[in-house]
Structure 1
Amino acid sequence: MVKITFIGAGSIVFSKQLLLDILSFEVLRDCTISLMDIDEKRLERIDKLCQKFKNQENLPTKFEATTDRRKALKDADFVIIMIQVGGLEATKFDLDIPQKYGMTQCIGDTLGPGGVFRFLRTIPVLLGICSDMKEVSKPGALILNYANPMAMNCWALNEATDVPNVGLCHGVQHTAYLMSHWAKVPIKECTYLAAGINHMAWFLEFRRNEEDLYPKIRKKLFEGPPLANDKIRIEMFRQTGYYMTESSGHLSEYLPFFRKRKGLMDKFGGTGFDGEDNFYYKLSVAAEKQEEKIFKRMLSDKRKIKFSRRSVEYCSRIIHGIVTDTPFRFNGNVRNTGLITNLPDGCCVEVPCYADSTGIHPSYVGELPPVCAALNMSNILVQGIAVKAALTKNRELVHHAIMMDPNTNSFLAPHEIRAMVNEMFQAESKWLPQFL
């Protein structure tokens, strides 16, 4: 029997979606799903929801819930990781302290001070999971990682362990749907090649059969009425020639061009995911307040589950592809082993991959266009120093990583960055004992 373990299962909305995606494949219903979270209340909610699904749909699935990580990982074939170490308390420090020094972030989970400190909190837990897996999970058990910062987490995992893993995001899928809408072509008729790094991959090709759809997309975005949102991403498309895979709010943090001046953000930014200061934290606080209400609504919903409504998330399809030996193509975050030739070997790249019964098989891409590689490199330099800092527990390297961050150094001088980083270490010390 296949065993699928969720680490950080307490997220009601996301866990529910992944669970229903998995159960949408009849061949996967006769499996064990182990739910693990350190928050007992949230764990109890998702467990009750799973028991409701089981009883309502008469499923053969065996569900178990535990706060014991090793118990959850015992005999696991697949380990889905969705953790946020430090929760909203730490996220508030990630955003508020840099803002005090004069720099802003919208999300703060991928790069910059927010992303680096989130990574420093997360990687000891990820390495602990890997250690447990080597002792108690099935040989070759696969990590399906959703925890951000994706690139740094996967890079460090591949540097420090030999546990099979792949990082999953939905930026490629959502952007592909958006581009198909602009081209007025059904997504099922579109094919594309997207490659780069997580949250900054590039649509190198977007086609319907032999037809290049980029001209239609350019006409829509550059010649039609201006769109009210996503202006930063559209501006970078205008300047580079390639559309990127992440929202304007995310993207504004990975570049030195926009957040540094209010006038620029007034012109290109916006509210919410278009670049609003501290938006991710505000959204998360609001979502947390609604969790109990959402849970009660889900629990009382007696309608039959429409398993045909599978989400765009790759996770369930990868598991299905491996279990049934049905090849599945997706974009995954993997170690660069010459896959993208003008990005460093060993870094984490997001490239087309295939899943089948023998595992995950990344595809060779070759060279990115020079401007795409250069912008990726500006982020990879930060990621590489941060990974080395985490694995060697070298606090000085943390200063250097954040000093090299494009958004941070567009706002602050080196001595200001050092003061900011020191204050973040002090505020977050309970999650970072390795740096004391």
Structure 2
Amino acid sequence: MSFKVTFIGAGSIGFTRGLLKDLLTVPEFRHIQVSFTDINEQNLAMVQQLCQRDINENGLNVTIEATTNRREALAGAKYIFNVVRIGGLPAFKDDIDIPLRYGIDQCVGDTLCAGGIMYGQRGIAEMMAICKDVREVADTDCLMLNYANPMAMLTWACHEYGGVNTIGLCHGVQGGHHQIAEAFGLKKEDIDIICAGINHQTWYIAINHQGKDLTGEVLEAFEKHPEFSKTEKVRIDMLKRFGYYSTESNGHLSEYVPWYRKRQHEITDWIDLGSWINGETGGYLRVCTEGRNWFQTDFPNWMKDPALEYIETNRSEEHGSYIIEGLETGRVYRGHFNVVNRGVITNLPDDAIIEAPGYVDRNGINMPLVGDLPLGPAAVCQASISVQRLAVKAGITGDDLLLRQAFMMDPLTGAVCNPPEIWQLVDDMLIAQEEWLPQYKEAIERAKQRVKKEKRLPLKNVEGAARLKTKTIEDMTLDREAANKNAGEADKAKDRPAES
């Protein structure tokens, strides 16, 4: 088979190298065309060299086209992997640090809350430009596989306003599936699940083992588990109060709801510092910064390390390659996908982006009816969908009133800040991220005038309840294997040790 696959944001080593390895593991795909594009020429060149070395050492006759010209990379593409981080680490740092001045303590800040909303504003502006290029130069029937966060907001914008067929993909369901199996002392393949909701707030509404329904026994299994009872306190509390286990990690989940991070002195009661994903303040920013610094410094050694082997046992659980395999070969694949609802979950809005079980084969991506979510989990999802809807419309129109309303409706932001504080916070974030927010040009000028003329509200300027120091290159050199794993993995929290 021969078709073209393009990676946008290909300088992201964690996603690009692994997804390409998964794709080229499929025997029928050993003659496809591959194109990489990124705005960072240095990162693009390093990832291209490393991936091309992998290809060559696996004996394949595939040459990666790498270019900073996005339209050139997209020309004729049938499948597009979107792995961009708009604004890079500098903007990501603002997403964490500026809200902290107002007392908003985030672990990740890439999906909801103040950081996730602003990440969405930057992403939506660029995704509309990407979608325009896709419509004009890519294959007429191309499919965009979106791995970029905020997953629901970007996928929603691409569908409703970008005119590009887009499916959002995440590894959260697989991660929680492994956890549930471990809590019961079983293997993942022994447990069958149905998981439904919205990205990062998907709920395991059915859990079965050999025909027995285990859903009602999950709470006891997690409370008795020696590791999870310490590392997943927020998820266990949500399970206790809403009846179902949530896909997203302790740190992620804690910033999507209003109850666990609104008071600085209580945050440490709910988190664990054995792994950043368990709730560390700015934890994801820290490990991403460490990974980027390490890869750029240690890259010559990466070129000397053994190449990735393109064999089935090394294939990851990321959905992307399996979707393309199903569409092209007809092999049936079952996964959990982010798509426009259109009645799949009957008590969530039809236009929202939901995450639910789906099947892929040569006939396309098919989403079976889930029906109603349990009422409590549906209410949690509805709160987030309201924020997403406001944020997406704001990102498209540049209407800063809608943006401020999204901040007000966000559960954690609203729990920590009053309306005047939110108005000032939004001004601060708009001004700081001006270069990535072309749709807010007029609003940013008004914000600058307010900063000059109006009296500032006092800031809380908290340092974060659990912020750790970013490791130096010297620190990381002491454990090169761990540094390589952090830099090279898309899922930077596969290993989640409990606090020692």
Task: State how 1:12-411 maps to structure 2 within 5 Å.
Answer: 12-223=13-224, 225=226, 227-271=229-273, 272-293=276-297, 295-302=299-306, 305=309, 307-308=311-312, 309-411=314-416
Q: Secondary structure at the match of 2:170?
A: coil
Question: Which stretch has the larger CA shift, 208-217 or 124-133?
Answer: 208-217
Residue identity matched to 1:298: W
Question: Which stretch has the larger CA shift, 259-268 or 342-351?
Answer: 259-268
Question: Which stretch has the larger CA shift, 6-15 or 374-383?
Answer: 6-15
State the aligned residue count.
436
Residue identity matched to 1:358: N
CA contact (8 A) 1:168 1:332 kept: yes
CA contact (8 A) 2:24 2:310 kept: no
CA distance in 1, matches of 2:237, 2:364: 38
CA distance in 2, matches of 1:107, 1:355: 31
Match of 1:420 in 2: 425
Q: Detail structure 1 runs of 4+ shifted over 4 Å in the superposition.
A: 223-226
Please, which runs of 5 or more residues in structure 1 have no aligned partner? none
CA distance in 2, matches of 1:30, 1:146: 24
CA contact (8 A) 2:400 2:440 kept: yes
1:266 shift after superposition: 2.1
CA contact (8 A) 2:77 2:142 kept: yes
Q: Deviations over 1:313-343 (max 9, x none)?
A: 0111111111111121111111110111111
CA distance in 1, matches of 2:79, 2:29: 12
Q: Secondary structure at the match of 2:144?
A: strand
Q: Deviations over 1:132-170 (max 9, x none)?
A: 111111111000000100011111111113321100000
1:224 shift after superposition: 5.4
Residues 65/181 of structure 1: CA separation in 2 closer, same or farther (3 Å cut): same
CA distance in 2, matches of 1:162, 1:430: 25
CA contact (8 A) 1:183 1:216 kept: no
Residues 304/348 of structure 1: CA separation in 2 closer, same or farther (3 Å cut): closer
CA contact (8 A) 1:318 1:328 kept: yes
Residue identity matched to 1:286: E
Residue identity matched to 1:262: Q
Computed over aligned residues only, the root mean square deviation of the Cα atoms, in angstroms, reads 1.5
Instruction: Point out which structure has higher relative CO (alpha carbons under 8 A, 6+ apart).
Output: 2
Residues 358/137 of structure 1: CA separation in 2 closer, same or farther (3 Å cut): farther
Residue identity matched to 1:285: T
CA distance in 2, matches of 1:133, 1:306: 29
CA contact (8 A) 1:31 1:62 kept: no
* TM-score with structure 2 setting the length: 0.85
Q: Secondary structure at the match of 1:228?
A: helix
CA contact (8 A) 2:15 2:83 kept: no
Q: Secondary structure at the match of 1:332?
A: strand
Please, which runs of 5 or more residues in structure 2 have no aligned partner? 442-500
1:229 shift after superposition: 0.7
Residue identity matched to 2:210: N
Q: Deviations over 1:288-331 (max 9, x none)?
A: 11113553333212467152211110111111111111121111
Residue identity matched to 1:373: A
